Structure 1
Amino acid sequence: MELNAYIDHTNLKQNATRADLARLCDEAAKYHFATVSINSCWTSFAAQRLAGTGVGVTTCIGFPLGAASSAAKTAEAAQAVSDGTSEIDMVVNVGALIDGDDDYVKDDIAGVVRAASGHPVKVILECCLLTDEQIVRGCEDAVAAGAAFVKTSTGFSTGGATVHDVELMRKTVGSRARVKAAGGIHTREEALAMINAGADRLGCSASVKIVEG
């Protein structure tokens, strides 16, 4: 299996420098990854550096906590589109989801979907903080709000993607949305396990190591 097309090559570190982002983009172009996944301040830089390579840009919104206001998330998403993003990964308001405030969760997501102007939005649930019931509700809220993907994790909380979570999300969304697994995927074997569980996309910082076997 060619794994490169599944991978969003990721650097979301707060201390990432321009040189780090240049290297990320150049590796993504060399290995033909799907996108680079980056913080929003780097969107314009990455879009310009990757122009003509066929590699997209995934901008992360409300990252990593998801606790920004809906207005702030919407504005960040609109700016990312203006700066040349291809896709958007947004973090759900985890507290609202745990509280059972599904109307807030759906409205929060829908605002970003509207601001994305047709670009695919992936909704990060942060599964390590949720029960199975909350994961299912989060998936349903994301689909109802028009998201293209549901995603397991930021990679910045207490745990990353698990096969169980990916299987649960795949079962919940069916063909209505795609599934992205991210966080803690370091080897080819781990990547394949996530794909076999139902993941359509992988978020990885160890992407080069994974594709080189």
Structure 2
Amino acid sequence: MTTLSAKEIAKYIDHTLLKPDASTAAIHKLCEEAAEHHFYSVCVNSQFVAVAAKALEGTEVKVAAVVGFPLGASLSEVKAFEAAKAVENGAAEIDTVLPIGLLLEGQHDAVRSDIKQVVDAVKGKAIVKVIMETGFLNDEQKAAACRLSEEAGAHFVKTSTGFGPGGATVEDVRLMRHNVSDTIGVKASGGVRDLQTAVAMIEAGATRLGTSSGVAIVNGTQDASTY
């Protein structure tokens, strides 16, 4: 079993608040916790990117913004615009939801194009993670999503939004790690709520963890939150 200190695990964590009722005060608290525990980033809806960026000035914590969230069904041009505006407002990372319905239909060119438009919109300014929403996909579709993401120039593949069916599993993280090159990261998100699960995901190949339970994880406790 991997032996990681709380400080080491903290560097894997995208401290996340994506609930529809999130308030500015809650975003400030998220940022305070991220700065205190030295998490890698905070992950917020694009509405709150500027708030988070200002709150984290002078820290090493980055800001990640979700795009096309949580359905992935926005127009590609809209996703690209949202990504570019998020970067203008201080985001260093973009987590975009691929068009799940098109992937299920086997429209691989359209899926690749959707991801590429987001990548191109922030090229040289931010990294892009592609959320696959694995709960809707079979293994063949998950593998295809990984390949399409890499072909489109994305930097990470990511399991879930936390709002779809199911969340991250060790099996899915292993599958994703196997289907991208070593230069592509794998982010486990959805249901990562305790230290044991976090370590299991890292052992399976995750290089980032998306969770609203970052504080509980580094403290070695359990959190009942849903993301």
Q: Is TM-score (shorter-chain normalized) higher than 0.5?
A: yes
**In the TM superposition, what is the alpha-carbon distance from 1:172 to its structure 2 partner?**
0.6
Give the distance between the partners of 1:26 and 1:117, measured in 2 at CA.
29
Give the distance between the partners of 2:165 and 2:204, measured in 1 at CA.
21
Gaps of at least 5 residues in structure 2 are 221-227
- The one-letter code of the counterpart of 2:160 is S
In the TM superposition, what are the counterparts of 1:145-164 in structure 2 within 5 Å?
145-164=152-171
Which of these residues, 14, 18, 26, is aligned with residue 20 of structure 1?
26
Gaps of at least 5 residues in structure 1 are none
2:179 maps to 172
1:182 maps to 189
Do residues 199 (structure 1) and 206 (structure 2) align? yes
- The one-letter code of the counterpart of 1:127 is T
Which of these residues, 65, 68, 87, is aligned with residue 62 of structure 1?
68
- The one-letter code of the counterpart of 1:137 is A
**Alignment identity in percent?**
51
1:4 maps to 10
Which of these residues, 40, 48, 52, is aligned with residue 34 of structure 1?
40
Q: TM-score under structure 2 normalisation? A: 0.93
How many residue pairs match? The answer is 213
Give the distance between the partners of 1:6 and 1:21, measured in 2 at CA.
20
Which of these residues, 98, 109, 130, is aligned with residue 103 of structure 1?
109
- The one-letter code of the counterpart of 2:153 is G
In the TM superposition, what are the counterparts of 1:122-161 in structure 2 within 5 Å?
122-161=129-168
| CA distances 1:115-140 after superposition (whole Å, capped 9, x unpaired) | 11321100000001000000000000
SS for the counterpart of 2:168 is coil
2:77 maps to 71
Give the distance between the partners of 2:201 and 2:58, measured in 1 at CA.
30
SS for the counterpart of 1:161 is coil
Q: TM-score under structure 1 normalisation? A: 0.99
SS for the counterpart of 1:85 is coil
